[in-house]
Structures are given as structure tokens and as C-alpha cells.
Structure 1
């Protein structure tokens, strides 16, 4: 019911190629990113105390199309239960209906991935078999380092520290992958695709007029909200922890880390009208809040109890913070420590 090939083709066109670089410069970027990812493993281990076997998940330096393809593959797996349930309820469309319907949904996914494909610097894909994979989007990294006039070597290592922290989180904490996937599966199983279409169109219209919230706000049942809260708690922890690591390790190995962080944060503010609309719809503003709130949660506990005590968060799913505890780290400490 989704033409994934069409989604990838359209997404790649929307994303474009990115900045122009010579073949020699492109080879240098790829080699440096690969070396920085390898170097980051030990830096993350020494700072966090989390031990992940090296090279358990491949590092892929990709272009924008490669990122779109990887995420289309991931979406198809996560959405499979919802698509199967809809097919059972309505029957599988045939002929022209199937062709048109799958193209329409493919276009929707493609436009989404095309927009995000211009923004993402790196991503750990935990659901890639058998142990995940680390994606570094070279054109976007080059684009941002040029835009903020950052030292190229420093910026590339800074990005790799953040993304390598995610690789360590999922490979040093083996239950994390299945836990997060089960929460996402549970959410898709509660959704009714046919009812959501009208709600999505209404939310898009509201966003264009300057109001409304993200598409995630469409979940309304208590069950859905509970799942969203659990996912938000986990993602805030993972993103905030990675930000703490990159800024904690940074000063010892990245001379210009303070300049990079200041310019990078300032860059996030300078977005146009269309960009603001899409960010609101896709919940990217909430994503930025995850970095901020999650980092504050991690720093509070590490400052109060130390990194070794904080690492209790990785021992079992019951020790993960709720969304409420992300905003109240003292409550997590009382419950877990």
C-alpha cells in the first residue's frame, strides 16, 4: 500500500545533491568521518563508562539519497503492522486503485524524507539487522560546517561524538533496541489510518495559517498518550546523553568546541516561514526540546551522584525515566537510586 521505491525517488529529488565538492575533497571528507567515528568509540567509553564492542555496527558515510533509502527501509518495517491491519480490514486494493493509492502514500513519505534528508547530519539506525548501523550524511555535514564557518576537522569530530554515543547506547545496552522497537510497534497498532487522514489534512491547514501543533498531537487516546510519553522519555534520555557526551569530551579534543556549539545553536533560530511550518508539523521543535531537557536531566544526576550512579539508567527498562521524570530528575533519583 506504499510505493517505497517511488518514495525514495521523490525523496532524493526533494533533498537534492547538497553542496558542490570536488572528488578529491569528497574522498577526504569520507576518510575523515570514518576515522573520527572510529576514534570516538574510545572517547565515549572513557567518558561514560559504557563498554561497547568496536565495529559491531557498520559506519556508513552516505549522501542524501542514501539516507532517504535507509529511512524508507526503516519506516516500512515499523509501519508494517498498521498497513497489514488496514489490508485485513478493507482488503488489499487491486489494479488502478492499488497503483494510485500506493503512489499517493509513497509521495507523502517521499516529501517527508526529502525535507528531513536536507537536515540530518547523522543517525544511528538501531533496527538494521543484526546490530544497527551508523549513518553519517556527508553533504549535510559539509553544508553546515560551511554555513557556520566552523573548523572542518573539529566540526566533523564533534558530530561523530554525538552519533557514536548513540551507537554505544544501543550496543552496550542490548535490550534498548527491542524495547524502543516494541514501543513504536505498540503505537502503530493503536492507530486507525483512515481516521487519521482527515486529521492530518486539518493539522497541515492549521500549521500553514500559523497555528496548530505537530502531527504527533493527533494521538488522543489515553493508551496512545502513555506510549508517546514513554517514547519521549527514552528519546530525551538518548539525545540529551549524547549532547552531554559531545560537550563533555569536546574541550579535550576539539579546540573550537565552544565556538561550534554557539554558532550551531544560533543557526537553529534562523529559519524561514516554510521551514517553521514543516518543523512544527514534524515535531522538530519538540526534538530540540528533547536535546535540551534530556541534557539537563543527565547533567543534574551526574553532578549530584556521579556518572557511575547515573549509569543505573541502562540496567533495565524499569530504570528508564518517564517524560515527567525528564523534567524532574530528583524524582528519578528517588525512584531508582
Structure 2
């Protein structure tokens, strides 16, 4: 599969293009890494108590990484996720294998594209639960980004570390306390890769549609450039997977803010400034975010949090936790913005 994406070249490209982190001396950096580790450990109890979900004791602890390491780990996970899907896509759509020269050139091109995307994201992500298909799932906290954002917001460093770790620890709890969830998301993502791949015979038609529909990407309701390549049926599939992602992100936001007042004195200030920061990106950054669908991700946090709070107000935290019973109890796309519809389907 290296003929389709040169993953090592993607890593090299990403590490070359990623911006340097904030200026910080070696001693201060070591102290920051240890402080982040301690904040991650301190989040275990409050998150478990608030979410009423428990991580098994043998689950790996969070690791603290720099931007190049984040790029390498994500490239490995993307490879593990996509290579089987590409095999299935070739089999399903009858594509032929490229010759060696085409494969080598194409692999470098796609590797460069992936590396550029990873370089952009590596400067944005504060933390991530890496599903690591075929490997060991791991919670990562990106130290330079935590330092940079804390400085930009001008908030208490210890409180900010704790606040971010509450959110990310919630993701670790979601996937370790609900063991079927990881395999479900990986299989759904692979299935979508196969389903969304365009038929070669439609490439010309797609190119014409892209020119006609490009303004949709820049509209407030657009979800990113992927909209230009998908049919209504495919967008419905994406919407249901997006609903699950909204659930995960919204649940983490609700837990982090519910835990906050008792453990993070300046949580209200952090939340207010963090939300303002999301609005304040420059024009070029906003354009790239919209093209990549990151603006839609911001809506995931908002819609998911509204869903979680709406369900909890109706049936409490234990009633909400029925969402983790099976894939059939996950919210559908229409239910994310209508929590009572989910309550009626699952509880009545």
C-alpha cells in the first residue's frame, strides 16, 4: 500500500513543515511535561465521578508529546486505518494496481499532502485519544500547544492544564469504559472510505460539479470540501458518524465544565477566553479551517454539549449513560439537535 501513500514521506514532510513551538528552556520544558502528566493523573477521579464511567486500572496512562511525535503517531494510525480500506476499495470498485513508476510518484504526492495536513493540525491539537487501529490506543497531550494556548489566553497555567486534561481524560474514559466503541468507529470510518471513493468514470463530472458548487464550501452551513465529492446518501452516512463524534466531543466538554468549579478556580475565565479564541482566527486560518471541515468540528462541540445536557436534564446522568449500551443506542444525526427524540427512542 506504500504505492498509494508514502507514509514515511508524509512523516518527513510534516516534521519539516510544522511550526516551531513556543520559546521555552529545557528545564522549564521538563517541568511543564511533568506538570501535564500530573494534571492528567489528577483528572482520573473527578472525571470518573462526574461521568459515572470508570477506566480499567490496566489502561495506559496519558503520554506527553511534542509536535513531531504527534505527527508520526497520527501518520501510523492513518496508515493502519486507511490501508485495509484502500484494499477493500480496490476490490469493490475494480480499480487496477498502478505500475511501479506511477505508484512511486503518486505515493510521494499523497504523502506530501498528508504531511502538510498533519503539520497544520499538529500546531492546533491540545490533546487526542489515538484509536491506533491494530495497535495500542493512547491518550496524547501535546505539550507545546498547551503552553502556547495558555500564554495566548493569559490564564493560570495550572488551571488550564487541569481543564484540558479533564476534557481529554473524558475521551480516555469513553473508549476504555465502553470497549466496543473503538472498533465500531474504526469499522465505520473504513466503510465510509470505501463508499466515498469516486468511480473513475465520474471524475470529469465531479470536476464540473466542484467548480459549480465551490461557493458552498465558504457558506456558513458548509461542512468542508468533502461536501463537493459526496451524494446526498453519502452525506447522510457521514452525518450519522458525525453525530457520534458530536456526542464524544460534547460529552467531554460537559464533563470538563461540570468538574471545573470544584477543582479549577478560574474555569469560567478559561472557558470564556477559549471560546473567544475560537472566533478570533485570522482570515487565512478561517478559510483553511472551513475547507478542512474544522468549522464543522466546532459545531460538534456545541451541538454535542446541547445534546448531552438536554438528555441529562430529562433522564439524569445514568439515563444518559444508556447511550454507551451498543451502537444502536448512539444518537442519530437528527437526534443530536433533538435530545428528546433520542430519549423517546431509547427510554420509552
Q: What TM-score does the superposition give when structure 1 sets the normalisation length? A: 0.93
- Which residue matches 2:132? 127
Residue 333 (1) aligns with residue 337 (2): no
1:213-232 matched pairs, under 5 angstroms? 214-232=224-242
Listed as ranges, the gaps of 5+ residues in structure 1 are none
- Which residue matches 1:39? 42
- Which residue matches 1:12? 15
Residue 312 (1) aligns with residue 312 (2): no
1:168-187 matched pairs, under 5 angstroms? 168-187=173-192
2 CA distance for matches of 1:208 and 1:110?
26
Compare 168-177 and 98-107 and name the one that shifted more: 98-107
The answer to whether the 8 Å contact 2:85/2:191 transfers is no
1:133-148 matched pairs, under 5 angstroms? 133-148=138-153
Residue 86 to residue 322, structure 1, CA distance change in 2 (3 Å): closer
**In structure 2, the residue corresponding to 1:153 is in which secondary structure?**
helix
Compare 319-328 and 270-279 and name the one that shifted more: 270-279
1 CA distance for matches of 2:256 and 2:326?
24
Compare 23-32 and 242-251 and name the one that shifted more: 23-32
Aligned match for 2:154, one of 114, 136, 149: 149
2 CA distance for matches of 1:250 and 1:162?
10
- Which residue matches 2:83? 80
**In structure 2, the residue corresponding to 1:2 is in which secondary structure?**
coil
**In structure 2, the residue corresponding to 1:136 is in which secondary structure?**
strand
The answer to whether the 8 Å contact 2:217/2:227 transfers is no
**In structure 2, the residue corresponding to 1:61 is in which secondary structure?**
strand
The answer to whether the 8 Å contact 1:199/1:218 transfers is no
The answer to whether the 8 Å contact 1:161/1:245 transfers is yes
Residue 27 to residue 201, structure 1, CA distance change in 2 (3 Å): farther
1 CA distance for matches of 2:328 and 2:86?
30
Residue 129 to residue 42, structure 1, CA distance change in 2 (3 Å): farther
Q: 1:306: how far off? A: 1.1
Structural RMSD (CA)? 2.4
2 CA distance for matches of 1:91 and 1:68?
31
Listed as ranges, the gaps of 5+ residues in structure 2 are none
2 CA distance for matches of 1:91 and 1:308?
51
CA-to-partner distance for each residue in 1:290-315, whole Å, 9 max, x for gaps? Answer: 00010011111112221111111111
The answer to whether the 8 Å contact 2:44/2:169 transfers is yes
Compare 54-63 and 18-27 and name the one that shifted more: 54-63
- Which residue matches 1:264? 274
Compare 281-290 and 13-22 and name the one that shifted more: 13-22
CA-to-partner distance for each residue in 1:37-86, whole Å, 9 max, x for gaps? Answer: 11111111111110111351342211111111111111112221343256
The answer to whether the 8 Å contact 2:14/2:119 transfers is yes
